[in-house]
A and B are shown apart, each in its own frame.
Chain A
Amino acid sequence: MSVVTELKTRTPAETQLLQLAEARGENENARRPAIEALRRDGLPTRKVEAWHYTDLRALVGRRIKDDAAVASLKAGDDAILEPLLANSVVICLDDPVSAHLPDGVMATSSSSVADWQASPNHLDRSIDTIRALSAAFGASSAKIAVSSKTSVDTPIELRPAAGSDSHFYAQVSVGEGASATFVERLEGDGSPAPSTGVSTLTIADRANVLWIVDQEKGAEASHLGQLNVTIGADAVFRLFVLNAGGGLVRYEVHAETVGEGADVQIRGANLLKDGQHVDVTTTLNHRVPNTTATETFRNVVTGGHGVFQGMIKVAKGAQKTDAKMACNSLLLSDEGDFSAKPELEIFADDVQCGHGATAGEIDADHLFYLMSRGIPEATARALLVKAFLGEVVEELEDEAIVEALEARIDTWLDTHA
């Protein structure tokens, strides 16, 4: 057996990303090791299992072809947005201290970068790709804390820096018995060079957090996001991910139950059209006994490529884990495709875990039934697509939140489906 050292040749895109990282200037010391790691390892290819369906090296390479693409990074493009949820307080992640926050919520800026030297996804390389990019570019870093026993009624919307070359690292903690709703708002025209957003969310015992990701970036935008969550005893973590934009998008969720009675509820909708590559990769780590998780993604594909990788891991001794995962795709066109890879890795013997993936077209019987009542075909199809997505949105139960998300989904469907 011989060990072959592969000679790494850097793609033009990788070279340009490194130049961009070097040019950022601020926070040099914290970023330097990550830049060097990227110089050494480059972007992952499909040979890295975690990136098998999203060959980042090739996909970014295809998007950054010339200097013009990178130059467009410098153009600020974000119009003033209404928050997703009415009456939200908005925290700009590059200037967190200036937000007027509700009682019991603190926001500070920090110079720390994401911890990239180990990956929560064991299928990634020895470094964590998204965190390494975040650390190499990372300039804006925010810490947000909700005090224990505080029930924050005002939704907190987190916004990356204005402009397209945005990279944020947010460390959010929600204290014991507290409750809060966060919206991670990913908007703007963006650019072919990926923006990054890495968050850590620490949910203390008996706390209750709803985190909504609203990703509606422009068709040219590349974005790599990651949410790392730990959930304490009897705490509830609910997540909704809406992907309704972007050119090249990967959103990773790594959730870990660290206290008994922790409950994880992940729901999401991926809406795909021609020219997009959208990847949602999740790992649910059940570390302790008696924790529950449900995860359902619904995908509507009119074109492009969709990816879902879902891993449920049950540690030795994490008995009575109850975890279920589903990924359902509605393929509205032959132009698009969706790859789903659910996985289970279980080291306990008294657990209930299940996963399922389906893909199909609109049910012809359902369509006939609606049309037989006089509903024209286009309207009937739209009703069925909305129903398919509505089922996961309505599980959020809060009427205002359901309405806000359905309005975003309806806008997308009216334009693209």
Chain B
Amino acid sequence: MLEIKNLHARVADEGTEILRGVNLTIEAGEVAAIMGPNGSGKSTLSYILAGREDYEVTEGDILYNGESVLEMDPAERAAAGLFLAFQYPLEIPGVATMTFLKTALNAQRKARGEAELTTPDFMRKVKASAEELKIAPDMLKRPLNVGFSGGEKKRAEILQMALLEPKLCIMDETDSGLDIDALKIVSDGVNALRSEERAFLVITHYQRLLDYIVPDTVHVLYKGRIIKTGDKNLALQLENEGYAQIVDEAA
């Protein structure tokens, strides 16, 4: 589903190279975890996959279902089935949450040549997903993410994911700022979306999240490269030993 080939990227403004030849393949149905110390390029990778303009790909390619996404803007990538759950979801004053959800959902449907949802159908869909994620109806009446707690924002991200039904879900440190109860709600939400057709790229610092969202593969990103790949036991090993030994091995 996703093939990242020798991806080099730098910050567009200043030229600092952050990714230095990432190779990674994720199959449909797979849950891949990316771990790595601070500054290894994890968040940058997620932003580049989603199409953020602040970064410039200097070499390599990102293939999604066999086609390069590099020339696609973020909205086109989203309509094709990519979704980034933000580490820090943005507060957007003045944009009503429901208006936003409906606009996004129908824009994607339109881009794929599907009929737009009617308002009653849309409302039903939102209500059902919100209940599962324990999102109070009052939250949905507020402007997008405005005044939400950290945990509420993360749940709202999962709500968006559930509604938009993406094919490739990239989750950037979804566990950061969550207490154990919220972590469980969010993980249940993610697990409910796991399917044969859907892949996940879960970026995290901590093994803890991977107790709830059990990965098929674990990759260690360090200084802009994947330096080790393994199964879920690699995450446990990292939790016990830290990154030092793996970094030494790779050096």
Residues of A within 8 A of B (CB): 364-366, 368-377, 379-380, 383-384, 386-391, 394
Contact = CB atoms under 8 A, between A and B. Distances in A.
Contacts of A389: 94
Contacts of A391: 93-94
B43 to A, nearest CB: 13
A395 to B, nearest CB: 11
Contacts of B52: 368
Q: Which of B50, B86, B89, B92 has the most CB of A within 10 A?
A: B92
Contact of B90 (A366, A380, A386): A366
A389 B50 CA distance: 29
A271 to B, nearest CB: 16
Contacts of A379: 103, 107
B160 to A, nearest CB: 6
B164 A373 contact: yes
Interface in B101-146: 103-105, 107-108, 111, 143
Contacts of A375: 75, 100, 103-104, 107
Interface string B47-64: 000111110000000000
A373 B78 contact: yes
A180 B7 CA distance: 65
A369 B107 contact: no
Contacts, number: 80
A333 to B, nearest CB: 19
B95 A373 contact: no
B84 interface: yes
B104 A374 contact: yes
A368 B53 contact: yes
A contact face: mostly helix, strand, loop, or mixed: helix
A366 B84 CA distance: 14
Contacts of B93: 387, 391
Contacts of A388: 94
Contact of B160 (A366, A368, A373, A386): A373
A369 B89 contact: yes
Interface string B138-163: 00000100000000000000001000
Contact of B79 (A364, A374, A380, A386): A374
Contacts of B103: 375, 379, 383
A371 B73 contact: yes
B111 A372 contact: no
Contact of B94 (A369, A370, A374, A390): A390
B107 A374 contact: yes
27 contacts: A364-B54, A368-B52, A368-B74, A370-B100, A371-B78, A372-B74, A372-B75, A372-B84, A372-B86, A373-B78, A373-B100, A374-B105, A374-B108, A375-B100, A376-B107, A377-B73, A377-B75, A379-B103, A383-B95, A383-B99, A383-B100, A384-B92, A384-B94, A386-B94, A388-B94, A390-B94, A394-B94
Nearest to A390: B94
A387 B94 contact: yes
B75 A380 contact: yes
A364 to B, nearest CB: 8
A373 B104 contact: yes
B211 to A, nearest CB: 28
Contacts of A380: 75
Given A369-B86, A375-B100, A375-B103, 20 more contacts: A365-B90, A369-B90, A370-B95, A370-B100, A371-B51, A371-B73, A371-B75, A372-B51, A373-B78, A374-B104, A374-B111, A375-B75, A376-B75, A376-B111, A380-B75, A383-B103, A384-B95, A387-B92, A387-B95, A388-B94
